[in-house]
Amino acid sequence: MQRTPNSWYGVYGTAENDVWVVGSKVDYNPSPPPPLNETSFIIHYDGSKWVEHKVNTSSAVYNVYAIKPNDVWACGADGIVYHYNGSHWDIDTIKISKSADDFFQLNNMIKHNEKLYCLGRNATEQGAKLTYYFFENINNDWIKLDSFIIEGDNLEYKWGPAAFYVSKINKLYSHGFGGVFEYSGSEWINIFKTEYAITDMKGEENNFVLSGDFGHVFHYNGKDWKELTNLYREEVVYSGVWIDKDEVFVIGWDLSGYPQTTLVWHGK
């Protein structure tokens, strides 16, 4: 059997026996063209085994967010939103005005103060023009709260387009290009600005750790943001971070050679 190029984009768990992984599965088409068929991929771990959940879409799934075992949300390419109620998946689509050649995707979802939010992006002119969206689910309809355009010399981000994060004291943040933003309930405030994309953030208000592109890792001690220069590696893309009161892990991959290698930092 030939190997196929599958991709896993998101993981989320509520417990050691409730873990979700999402992505896309590519199979060889027995009747090309096209040579490959892409389908959505959602898999669940119950503590002893992995079970694939079939959904009737042919779009990649980029993010999964589990509130509890019977309330799971996912989103991805083509504006598709997936919701699992414990027994079956419902499929919804967030629609925007776009041309046939545009590529619209949903990047991240989160629930905060009983409100469900979603981040999206539409790529026009082969990515030369990017429109970012901030949606809220109101009465089972997805409403656009705001949007902004990145094009040419216009590089001002209204929020972090990569992902949301909710802290232990229930503050909502977003991060990505532009740095880190805090949501006031009506607008996003840029609390840490950097020229490097922030790929992940974890911690609480007096102890945040941020991972970033091109080997940059940052720490916030409640007063000041500082780069952890001892972790700087120009050839490394840091992709994730985990932290508690005693230790921290930062992960990424090294692009300096072939094959690429995974890098894990562990601090106490």
pLDDT value for 207: 95
Give mean pLDDT, residues 4-29. 91
Give mean pLDDT, residues 18-35. 88
pLDDT value for 1: 37
202 or 56: which leads in pLDDT:
202
Threshold 0.75, pTM exceeds = yes
pLDDT in tens, 149-182: 999 999 999 999 999 999 999 999 999 999 999 9
pLDDT at 60 over 80: yes
pLDDT in tens, 97-139: 999 999 999 999 999 999 999 999 999 998 999 999 999 999 9
pLDDT value for 227: 97
Which residues are paired to 118 by β-bridges? Answer: 109, 135
pLDDT in tens, 83-96: 999 999 999 999 99
pLDDT in tens, 211-263: 999 999 999 999 999 999 999 999 999 999 999 989 999 999 999 999 999 99
pLDDT value for 133: 99
Please report, for the chain, the start and end positions of each structural domain, with discontinuous segments joined by +.
196-268
The DSSP annotation for the chain comes to ------EEEEEEEEETTEEEEEEEEEEE-SSPSSSEEEEEEEEEE-SS-EEEE--S--S-EEEEEEEETTEEEEEEBTTEEEEE-SS-EEEEE------TT-EEEEEEEEEETTEEEEEEEEEETTTTEEEEEEEEEETTEEEEEEEEEEETTB---SS-BSEEEE-TT--EEEEETTEEEEE-SSSEEEEE--SS-EEEEEEETTEEEEEEGGG-EEEE-SS-EEE-GGG--TTEEEEEEEE-SS-EEEEEEE-SSSS-EEEEEEE-
